[in-house]
């Protein structure tokens, strides 16, 4: 990066800077004309100078300029006008000049602003571009929050400075110089003294300011570290809590803030000291004028008129000078900021730009072997990860990389994926060094997945297709107005040195995945998703999303039909105890008392049990059926049992998770409530206590809570109340409830709930899984499987994919790598979060599918379980960074002692 | 119902020393699950997330090896299974499969650990069970490894 900010700005904006200088120079003409005009108006038409006779006329528009040094001049002899006409004409000119000045100012300011914003855009883009090109090992030393704060905040003043970088010093320097020349012309000695003092001022003040700038730099660094620490606390909050180190963090933050405070305070002291000295210098000059100039006038060596003229001229000198010094201060300030940013971003060796060049066409297949010769890898501390490994990887091979964790297999895989760069030795394909190959080949023809998946914030689909978005595809459907808009965007982007392609165009390379469109792609990807056992998860997500029957008519139309098939299937398989259907005439034992009473879902969000119970409509129903007494009795018993159970349990205890109807901190309140109400007649119980005790009963589900208090008569009473409630229902509450209707789809419920139309029996082991399996089967039979799957792919995975489990993230990451149909596929313990059994099943499935495929990719797989290596063509066995075995599994298991030891094979095996 | 479950838990040796009120709390915190004949409570190699107390019915403990599946034990009412994974986070060492209609209380790992922390007697009971099992296993191993006696 260019180290000097001024040079950097000049290089990228010299033409614009020259233009703005020119415009500023041009703007000076009307500016000075407007200065002179009021005098002319007052002296001329108003006071009557030159209009002494009533009908005297004066030439108008005789433009004269009155600048120092150069004598008065004349542009135009003008038209003759009388006194009133001249007043009006001059005033009109004044108005015109004001307008012109305003427009000039407007143009100059917006131009400078745009120049600055463009520069800011350029710098920010360049910084992020460099981040994209940092060598991989550099990221181990980076804190993302610090980089973010540099790109976002620290370069901000650089943009503001750009507009003034050359214009301001030219303008102010010109003004100061003109004044100085004028003084010298008036009196050489006084002029020299002034120049001398200005010289001292210009040389001392910046020197003093160096300390200020140094402090400014420190302030920037400490603030950056501070933001890094804050983000570290946020990211590692779990570790802080589990180690009781919150006070250590507090101390650290307080210490850092203290440092920032003392730096900033020091900064203020220096700043105002500099100001004081500066003002002093500015006032010393007039002192010299008065004292010595006056003395020379007294002894007759100096003309009084000259002294007055010099003093008057000097009035105009300090302000541009001060501005000039301020500009210099700003320059040094941003220069230092810029230099620290440069330090942070000048990383060597940067990945060459050509490696990441945009390549639109399909990448050619890698058909030659990967030759690894004397590959040595070291970690940050210099310890060897891999020591002089040489081998060849032929196309169409499947290779298992085996070894204990940290013994070299992972590092070998990472080196092939270019995530670690070789210390010695090389990796080459077809005679070309792997590191020199463009990413448009390696990124598309080599796939890599490790156990630490990176997911973007977006939908599952976005993440799955991430590896296919290498270059924007031509968009045939673009409209003309869009084209114009795009073109305008591209021009502006190029002016700021940004790339001009748009991110929201179609980027997906369907061809690479062997498909001709999105639906086809999904269809083609399905077997992979099945192999990875993630299609079920995605399908599940689809089932658990609410559907808009208008947007998904294909699914919406058939939900009712599927309800019937599910019921029939369960009865056929004698599994009908797993799902208790919703029936308006029967109590559903698997649903809570409240759900049974309501027999529907709230159409807009949910409503708490307490809110429901206090609604007048429910109050009426409960009262008229006598249910209020029964439910109160039930709630009372629940409260009593709960308090008995949890009285002595600490509020953080894991048992409290089970207690869904009462929070730990509510227990004392209920305790007080019970002792208040015990023995009171129902009518005398305070309304509030009654409501909160009845609300407890509404959350009760017999098979889960098992207090044994839900009796048959009570259930019948509840069903009767439900019927009464729904016949007498008022319109305003009816609107809020979607009643369970066997013939209708409930919009506010999930797709699954709509199909189940019942409650899964919680006590039947694996009922969830069984029913989901049957539902999946039904959707498949109905030809709707892929529709639901694509519904599930719309699921938002959250920041960093945190809404998915680690296992799901790993599977998705693997699926993403497989989507590209690359020539070399490298997996680095990609499924470490899975059970060993599932990991093995998936590994076998993928290798099998690869073996059956037409264009088979070379697979290199770092295995968690070495026994799975049997299904691979070849095994590379690593131990302590060395390649200790290279051959088929059975060869190694027979003849390689180290490998046998590693597998813990008994000596008489085979 | 909770009270029945407490009765059963009291008959389980490792919980015998725990006061009834605590057992009721434990029962409340657990899931009561039903299994059909042939259904697995858990499978060998999976990550364990819970221990089970059998309330009724019977089950086989099956270990699969290179030479096929071997039934190593049969368990019934009051038996505790799956506590090894619940205690120390190792994959399941065996499969437990219901051989009749079966009911069990499912105690999740953290509940189980909390219990052993609160009641040292529970921990020592568990230790006793494990040691008994280990010594049995060792004996069997020795027997298996001994060269066949000369004729």
| Contacts B108 to A, Cβ<8 Å | 654
CB-facing half-sphere around the CA of A716: CA atoms within 13 A: 3
Conformational region of residue A682, where left means phi above 0, alpha means psi within -120 to 50, and beta covers everything else? alpha
Neighbours of A204 (CB within 10 A): 14
Q: Are A774 and A604 in contact (CB under 8 A)?
A: no
- As a whole number, mean pLDDT of residues B62-86 equals 85
pLDDT of residue A261: 93
Q: Give the residue range(s) of CATH 1.20.1560.10 domains in chain A.
A: 5-345
Instruction: Determine the residue among B34, B44, B89, B115 to mutate to test chain A binding: the one whose Cβ has the most chain A Cβ atoms within 10 Å.
Output: B34
Is the CB of A157 inside 8 Å of chain B's CB atoms?
no
**Torsion over CA of A214, A215, A220 and A224, rounded to 10 degrees?**
110
Distance from CA of A878 to the nearest CA of B (A): 26
pLDDT of residue A560: 86
* CATH class held by domain A5-345: mainly alpha
Lowest mean pLDDT across A216-225, A428-437, A544-553: A544-553
- Give the highest mean pLDDT range of A305-319, A383-397, A478-492, B74-88: A383-397
Lowest mean pLDDT across A796-800, A865-869, A903-907, B121-125: A903-907
pLDDT of residue A810: 92
Model confidence band, residue B88 (pLDDT cutoffs 50, 70, 90): confident
Find how far residue A295's CA is from the centre of its chain.
71
pLDDT of residue A63: 60
* Alpha-helix residue ranges (DSSP H) falling in A650-766: 667-677, 687-698, 702-705, 712-727, 731-734, 751-756
The alpha carbon dihedral of A354, A357, A360, A365 has a sign of: positive
Instruction: Read off φ and ψ for residue B76, nearest 5 degrees.
Output: -140, -160
Instruction: Determine the residue among B31, B82, B85 to mutate to test chain A binding: the one whose Cβ has the most chain A Cβ atoms within 10 Å.
Output: B31
- Closest listed residue to residue A108, CA positions, set A66, A168, A183: A168
- As a whole number, mean pLDDT of residues A183-210 equals 81
Asked if pLDDT for residue A360 goes beyond 90, the answer is: no
Residues from B contacting A (CB-CB < 8 Å) are: 1-3, 5, 21, 24-29, 31-35, 39, 41, 43-47, 91, 108, 110-111, 114
Find how far residue A74's CA is from the centre of its chain.
63
CA distance A777 to B59: 30
Total domains present in chain B: 1
- As a whole number, mean pLDDT of residues A470-478 equals 74
Would you say residue B150 lies in a domain? no
Model confidence band, residue A111 (pLDDT cutoffs 50, 70, 90): very high
- As a whole number, mean pLDDT of residues A76-92 equals 79
- As a whole number, mean pLDDT of residues A536-555 equals 82
Strand partners, A64: A74
More confident site: A513 or A863: A863
Lowest mean pLDDT across A245-254, A301-310, A518-527: A301-310
Asked if pLDDT for residue A640 goes beyond 80, the answer is: yes
CA distance A208 to A277: 9
Beta-carbon contacts of A535 under 8 Å, excluding residues fewer than 6 positions away, are: A526, A529, A789
Beta strands A874-879; A398-402: pairing state: parallel
Q: Give the residue range(s) of CATH 3.40.50.300 domains in chain A.
A: 370-455+804-903
pTM of the model: 0.70
How many helices and strands, by DSSP H and E, does chain A display? 35, 18
pLDDT tens, position by position, A704-747: 888 888 888 889 988 988 888 888 777 777 778 888 888 888 88
pLDDT of residue A342: 86
Would you say residue B67 lies in a domain? yes
Strand order in the sheet with B102-108: B31-35, B102-108, B50-56, B80-81
pLDDT of residue A80: 77
pLDDT of residue A902: 87
By C-alpha distance, the chain A residue nearest B21 is: A645
By C-alpha distance, the chain A residue nearest B5 is: A706
- As a whole number, mean pLDDT of residues A602-616 equals 75
Would you tell me which CATH number, out of the four given (3.40.50.2300, 3.30.479.30, 3.40.50.300, 3.40.1190.20), belongs to the domain A370-455+804-903? 3.40.50.300
CA distance A589 to A578: 12
- Structural element, H or E, at residue A825: strand A824-828
| Contacts A658 to B, Cβ<8 Å | 28-29
Share of chain A above pLDDT 90, in %: 11
Distance from CA of B136 to the nearest CA of A (A): 24
Report the SS3 class of residue A709. Answer: coil
Asked if pLDDT for residue A680 goes beyond 60, the answer is: yes
Instruction: Read off φ and ψ for residue A661, nearest 5 degrees.
Output: -95, -5
Model confidence band, residue A683 (pLDDT cutoffs 50, 70, 90): confident
The domain containing residue B121 runs over which residues?
A: 2-143
| Contacts A646 to B, Cβ<8 Å | 25
Number of Cβ pairs < 8 A linking chain A and chain B: 58
When the pLDDT of each residue in chain A is averaged and rounded to a whole number, the result is: 84
Find how far residue B18's CA is from the centre of its chain.
18
Distance from CA of B3 to the nearest CA of A (A): 8
CA distance B116 to B110: 10
Task: Say yes or no for a CB contact (<8 Å) between A653 and B114.
Answer: yes
More confident site: A1 or A522: A522
Report the SS3 class of residue A380. Answer: coil
Strand partners, A739: A600
| Contacts B46 to A, Cβ<8 Å | 835, 837
pLDDT of residue B119: 77
CA distance A77 to A100: 23
Show the tokens assigned to A310: 């010099």
Residue whose pair of structure tokens reads 């914003």 in the numeric block: A117
pLDDT of residue A68: 56
- Structural element, H or E, at residue A808: helix A806-819
Model confidence band, residue A99 (pLDDT cutoffs 50, 70, 90): very high
CA distance A127 to A150: 9
Beta strands A858-862; A398-402: pairing state: parallel
Which contacts qualify for A665-669: CB closer than 8 Å, 24 or more apart? A667/A642, A667/A643
- As a whole number, mean pLDDT of residues A783-791 equals 87
- Structural element, H or E, at residue A232: helix A188-235
DSSP state of A399: E
Task: Say yes or no for a CB contact (<8 Å) between B3 and A708.
Answer: yes
Asked if pLDDT for residue A262 goes beyond 80, the answer is: yes
Would you say residue B148 lies in a domain? no
pLDDT of residue A391: 92
Distances (CA, A) of A25 to A18, A19, A171, A262: 10, 10, 8, 44
Model confidence band, residue A826 (pLDDT cutoffs 50, 70, 90): very high
pLDDT of residue B61: 92
- Closest listed residue to residue B57, CA positions, set B90, B116, B101: B101
| Contacts B21 to A, Cβ<8 Å | 644-645
Task: Say yes or no for a CB contact (<8 Å) between B41 and A764.
Answer: no
Please spell the DSSP secondary structure of A761-783, one letter per residue: -TTBTTHHHHHHHHHHHHHHHTT
- As a whole number, mean pLDDT of residues A107-120 equals 91
When the pLDDT of each residue in chain B is averaged and rounded to a whole number, the result is: 84
Conformational region of residue B120, where left means phi above 0, alpha means psi within -120 to 50, and beta covers everything else? alpha
Show the tokens assigned to A526: 């399905």
Q: Is the ipTM of this complex over 0.85?
A: no
CA distance B36 to A316: 100
Instruction: Determine the residue among A637, A648, A653, A655 to mutate to test chain B binding: the one whose Cβ has the most chain B Cβ atoms within 10 Å.
Output: A655
Burial A407-430 (b: 16+ CB within 10 A, else e): bbbbbbbbbbbbbbbbeebebbbe
- As a whole number, mean pLDDT of residues B130-144 equals 85
| Candidates A644, A654, A704; nearest CB to B110 | A654
CA distance B31 to B47: 19
| Contacts A655 to B, Cβ<8 Å | 25-26, 28-29, 111, 114
- As a whole number, mean pLDDT of residues B81-103 equals 86
- Closest listed residue to residue A467, CA positions, set A483, A455, A479, A481: A455
By C-alpha distance, the chain B residue nearest A838 is: B46
Share of chain A above pLDDT 70, in %: 96
- As a whole number, mean pLDDT of residues A237-259 equals 90
Largest CA distance in chain A: 135
By C-alpha distance, the chain A residue nearest B32 is: A763
Instruction: Read off φ and ψ for residue A164, nearest 5 degrees.
Output: -100, 0
pLDDT tens, position by position, A331-340: 888 888 888 8
Question: Secondary structure of chain B: what % helix, strand, coil (to 5)?
Answer: 45, 30, 25
pLDDT tens, position by position, A142-151: 878 888 888 8
CA angle A172, A176, A181 (to 5 degrees): 145
Neighbours of A499 (CB within 10 A): 12
Distance from CA of B6 to the nearest CA of A (A): 12
Is the CB of A658 inside 8 Å of chain B's CB atoms?
yes
| Contacts A654 to B, Cβ<8 Å | 29, 108, 110-111, 114
- As a whole number, mean pLDDT of residues A573-578 equals 83
DSSP state of A664: G
pLDDT of residue A478: 63
By C-alpha distance, the chain A residue nearest B90 is: A835
Task: Say yes or no for a CB contact (<8 Å) between B114 and A654.
Answer: yes
CATH number of the structural domain spanning residue B41: 2.60.120.10
Strand partners, A874: A399
Distances (CA, A) of A30 to A99, A213, A642, A732: 10, 38, 88, 72
804-843 of A, contacting B, C-beta below 8 A: 835-837
- Closest listed residue to residue B36, CA positions, set A756, A777, A763, A758: A763
| Candidates B1, B34, B43; nearest CB to A706 | B1
Is the CB of A516 inside 8 Å of chain B's CB atoms?
no
DSSP state of A351: P
Please spell the DSSP secondary structure of A165-177, one letter per residue: TTHHHHHHHHHHH
Question: Secondary structure of chain A: what % helix, strand, coil (to 5)?
Answer: 60, 10, 30
CA distance A17 to A10: 8
Model confidence band, residue A258 (pLDDT cutoffs 50, 70, 90): very high
CA distance A431 to A447: 20
Would you say residue B151 lies in a domain? no
Q: Are B44 and B64 in contact (CB under 8 A)?
A: yes
Q: Are A795 and A545 in contact (CB under 8 A)?
A: yes
Is the CB of A645 inside 8 Å of chain B's CB atoms?
yes
The alpha carbon dihedral of A584, A587, A588, A594 has a sign of: positive
Would you say residue B27 lies in a domain? yes
Instruction: Determine the residue among A580, A590, A645, A864 to mutate to test chain B binding: the one whose Cβ has the most chain B Cβ atoms within 10 Å.
Output: A645
CA distance A709 to A636: 11
Question: For chain B, what's the residue count?
Answer: 151
pLDDT of residue A69: 58
pLDDT of residue A33: 74
More confident site: A207 or A392: A392
More confident site: A909 or B113: B113
Report the SS3 class of residue B95. Answer: strand
Q: Are A545 and A788 in contact (CB under 8 A)?
A: no
Model confidence band, residue A825 (pLDDT cutoffs 50, 70, 90): very high
């Amino acid at each position: 990066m260019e180290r000097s900010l001024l040079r950097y700005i000049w290089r990228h904006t010299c033409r614009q800077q020259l233009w703005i200088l020119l415009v500023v120079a041009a703007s000076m003409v009307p500016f000075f004309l407007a200065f002179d005009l009021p005098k002319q108006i007052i002296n001329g038409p108003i006071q009557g100078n030159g209009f002494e006779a009533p009908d005297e006329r004066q030439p108008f528009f005789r433009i004269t300029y009155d600048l120092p040094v150069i004598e008065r001049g004349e542009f135009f002899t003008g038209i003759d006008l009388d006194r009133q006409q001249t007043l009006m004409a001059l005033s009109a000119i004044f108005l015109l000049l004001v307008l012109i000045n305003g427009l000039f100012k407007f143009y100059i300011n917006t131009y400078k602003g745009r120049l600055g914003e463009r520069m800011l855009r350029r710098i920010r883009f360049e910084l992020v571009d460099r981040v994209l090109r940092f060598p991989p090992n550099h990221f181990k030393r980076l804190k993302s929050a610090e980089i973010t704060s540099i790109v976002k905040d620290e370069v901000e003043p650089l943009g503001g400075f750009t507009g003034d970088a050359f214009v301001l010093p030219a303008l102010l320097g010109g003004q100061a110089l003109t004044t100085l020349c004028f003084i010298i012309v008036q009196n050489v000695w006084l002029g020299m003294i002034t120049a001398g003092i200005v010289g001292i001022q210009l040389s001392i003040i910046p020197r003093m300011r160096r300390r200020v700038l140094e402090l400014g730099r420190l302030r920037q660094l400490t603030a950056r570290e501070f933001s890094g620490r804050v983000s570290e606390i946020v990211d590692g909050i779990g570790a802080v809590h589990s180690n009781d180190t919150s006070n250590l963090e507090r101390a650290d933050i307080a210490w850092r803030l203290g440092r920032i405070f003392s730096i900033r305070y020091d900064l203020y002291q220096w700043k105002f000291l500099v100001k004081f000295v500066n003002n002093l210098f500015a006032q010393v000059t007039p002192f010299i004028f008065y004292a010595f100039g006056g003395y020379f006038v007294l002894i007759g060596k100096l003309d009084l008129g000259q002294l007055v003229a010099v003093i008057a001229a000097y009035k105009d000198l300090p302000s541009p000078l001060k501005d000039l010094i301020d500009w210099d201060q700003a320059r040094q300030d941003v220069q230092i900021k810029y230099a620290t940013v440069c330090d942070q971003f000048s990383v060597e060796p940067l990945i060459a730009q050509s490696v990441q060049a945009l390549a639109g066409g399909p990448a050619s297949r890698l058909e030659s072997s990967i030759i690894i010769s004397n590959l040595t890898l070291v970690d940050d501390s210099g310890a060897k990860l891999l020591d002089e490994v040489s081998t060849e990887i032929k196309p169409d091979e499947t290779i298992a990389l085996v070894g204990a964790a940290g013994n070299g297999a992972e590092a070998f895989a990472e080196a092939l994926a270019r995530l670690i760069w070789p210390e010695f030795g090389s990796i080459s394909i077809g005679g070309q060094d792997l590191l020199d190959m463009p990413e448009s080949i390696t990124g598309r023809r080599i796939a890599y997945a490790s156990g630490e998946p990176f997911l973007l914030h977006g939908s599952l689909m976005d993440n799955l297709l991430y590896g296919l978005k290498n270059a924007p595809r031509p968009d045939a459907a673009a409209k003309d107005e869009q084209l114009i808009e795009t073109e305008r965007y591209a021009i502006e982007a190029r002016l700021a040195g940004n790339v001009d392609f748009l991110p929201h165009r179609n980027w997906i390379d369907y061809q690479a995945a062997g498909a001709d469109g999105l639906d086809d792609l999904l269809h083609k990807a399905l077997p992979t998703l099945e192999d990875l056992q993630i299609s079920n998860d995605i399908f599940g997500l689809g089932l658990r999303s609410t559907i808009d029957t208008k947007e998904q008519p294909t699914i919406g139309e058939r939900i009712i039909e599927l309800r019937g098939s599910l019921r029939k299937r369960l009865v056929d398989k004698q599994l009908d105890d797993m799902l208790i259907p919703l029936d308006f005439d029967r109590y559903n034992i698997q649903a809570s008392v409240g759900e049974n009473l309501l027999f529907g879902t709230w159409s807009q969000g949910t409503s708490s049990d307490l809110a429901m119970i206090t609604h007048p409509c429910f109050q009426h129903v409960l009262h008229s059926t006598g249910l209020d007494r029964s439910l109160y009795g039930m709630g009372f018993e629940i409260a009593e049992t709960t308090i008995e159970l949890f009285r002595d349990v600490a509020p953080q205890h894991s048992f409290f998770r089970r207690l869904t109807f009462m929070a730990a901190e509510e227990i004392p309140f209920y305790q007080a409530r019970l002792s208040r109400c015990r023995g009171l007649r129902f009518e005398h119980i305070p309304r509030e206590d009654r409501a909160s005790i009845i609300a407890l009963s509404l959350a009760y589900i017999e098979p889960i809570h098992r207090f044994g208090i839900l009796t048959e008569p009570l259930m019948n009473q509840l069903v009767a109340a439900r019927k009464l409630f729904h016949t007498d229902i008022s319109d305003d509450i009816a609107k809020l409830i979607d009643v369970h209707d066997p013939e209708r789809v409930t919009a506010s419920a999930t797709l699954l709930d709509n199909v189940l139309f019942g409650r899964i029996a919680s006590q039947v082991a694996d009922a969830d899984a069984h029913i989901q399996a049957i539902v999946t089967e039904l959707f498949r039979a109905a030809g709707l499987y892929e529709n639901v799957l694509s519904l599930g792919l719309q699921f938002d995975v959250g920041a960093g994919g945190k809404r998915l489990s680690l296992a799901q993230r790993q599977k998705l990451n693997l699926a993403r790598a497989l989507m590209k149909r690359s020539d070399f596929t490298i997996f680095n313990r990609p499924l470490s979060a899975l059970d060993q059994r599932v990991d093995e099943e998936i590994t076998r499935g993928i290798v099998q599918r690869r073996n059956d495929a037409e264009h088979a990719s070379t697979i290199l797989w770092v295995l968690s379980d070495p026994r799975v290596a049997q299904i691979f063509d070849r095994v590379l066995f690593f131990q302590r960074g060395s390649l200790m075995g290279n051959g088929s599994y059975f060869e190694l298991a027979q003849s390689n002692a180290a490998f046998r030891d590693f597998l813990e094979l008994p000596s008489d095996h085979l | 119902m909770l009270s029945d479950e407490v009765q059963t838990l009291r008959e389980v040796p490792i919980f015998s020393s725990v006061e009834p009120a605590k057992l009721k709390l434990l029962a409340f915190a657990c899931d009561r699950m039903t299994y059909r004949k042939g259904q697995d409570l858990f499978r060998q190699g999976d990550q364990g997330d819970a221990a089970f107390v059998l309330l009724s019915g019977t089950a086989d403990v099956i270990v699969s090896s290179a030479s096929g599946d071997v039934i190593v034990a049969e368990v019934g009412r009051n038996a505790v299974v799956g506590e090894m994974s619940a205690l120390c986070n190792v994959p399941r060492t065996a499969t437990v499969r219901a051989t009749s209609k079966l009911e069990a209380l499912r105690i999740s790992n953290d509940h189980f650990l909390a219990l052993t922390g609160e009641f040292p007697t529970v921990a020592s009971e568990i230790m006793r069970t494990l040691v008994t099992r280990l010594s049995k296993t060792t004996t069997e191993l020795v027997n298996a490894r001994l060269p066949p006696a000369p004729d």
